[in-house]
Amino acid sequence: MAPSDITGLVLAGGRGSRMGGVDKGLQNFNGLPLALHTLMRLAPQVGEVMVNANRNLSAYEAFGAPVWPDGLADYAGPLAGFLTGLERCETRCLLTVPCDTPLFPTDLAERLAAALARDDAEIAMASAREDDGPLRPQPVFCLLRVELLESLVRFTHGGGRKIDAWTAQHRTVIVPFDAPGDDPKAFFNANTLAELHALETR
């Protein structure tokens, strides 16, 4: 699968409750808004990019990518962002990444796409170790075939909100990111300003 077959979506639509309610994607990370840093890391890996955000839309629009708010009400979580992305996606696949994990792999799209094709899967999901523990799925890092839109509409409109409950309904391949040379902190997400500042000093 070529990068041009993939649209990248930065998920920045949350409440930021663990950061005191601030708009997480607009917090500073190494001199840039966190979501812009994420967008710039994602853009070389895909053909198109867009942002899912629910407030401060003009600030996100200044990044130069299309910005789409949730279609579901009340900050319905990452699946609401998935749904928004699939509705707007004009390529074969959608790659989702959260705005608060700024060190995600620069070959994320390539490795997920290879696994998706190899296993004839509908979803490829990253997995990584946390604090030298076992590999754990990273469900907000998903490569999704656009044909899944109808399924996700049914699931979310039926009240479903948990990513793993939805992905379990489909052929999902889990892709490990624990090879020699992989950054063990690549999937560390900053939930507090202190964690974000700690990432900056690495």
Binding-site positions for GTP: 11-13, 24, 52, 70, 100
* 149: amino acid identity, one letter: L
Give the annotated binding-site residues for Mg(2+): 100
Give the annotated binding-site residues: 11-13, 24, 52, 70, 100
Q: CA-CA distance, 92 to 81, in Å (whole number)?
A: 17
* Buried-state track 104-137, b at ≥16 Cβ within 10 A, e below 16: bbeebbebbbebbeeeebbbbbbbbeeeeeeeeb
- CA distances 93 to 4, 54, 102, Å, are 10, 23, 22
Let me know: does 24 contact 16? Beta carbons within 8 Å.
yes
Let me know: does 70 contact 57? Beta carbons within 8 Å.
no
Secondary structure (3-state) at 160: coil
Q: CA-CA distance, 40 to 122, in Å (whole number)?
A: 26
Q: Residue 93's beta-bridge partner residues?
A: 6, 145
